[in-house]
Amino acid sequence: MDDTTRVQEAYEAEYVRCGYMYSGEMSPEYLGRVTGLGFDRALAAIKALVAAGVLQRRKCDAWTYELVPAERARLITTHGLSERWEDAAPYFYPNDPRYGEIPSVMREIGPTEVAKSA
């Protein structure tokens, strides 16, 4: 498996596991450790996925990346994350209209993309 595929799968797995909490973000350092790629290879794969439109820099002070909203919407739909997250961690309110991860993602991608992700 090539590095970009490995990194994308790691971001997807993290998002499915706990994306309701912090959108599945990971830093290059952390990603390099959990995938075994090391920092340089992980960062190169992240840059390739940013260029491909799969990842984006997270809007925060930390040097972290996350899946773009369209990718997150695809995972929400494919894995039934609305129900799964609500059952697993209702105290994070993943479906809260104002602060929840799921409504936030759906607002970002717009109604046309929501239909495509289904």
CATH, residue 64 = 1.10.10.10
State the pLDDT confidence band at 48, using cuts at 50, 70 and 90. very high
Q: Which two tokens stand for residue 19?
A: 């994306």
Q: Please tell me the total count of domains within the chain.
A: 1
Range of the domain at 31: 3-117
First vs last Cα of the chain: how many Å apart?
A: 28
Question: Looking at the whole model, is its pTM more than 0.85?
Answer: yes
* Distance, CA of 96 to CA of 80 (rounded, Å): 16
Using one digit for the tens of pLDDT, what is the confidence trace for 60-117?
888 899 999 999 999 999 999 999 998 887 778 888 888 889 999 999 988 655 445 5
DSSP state of 65: E
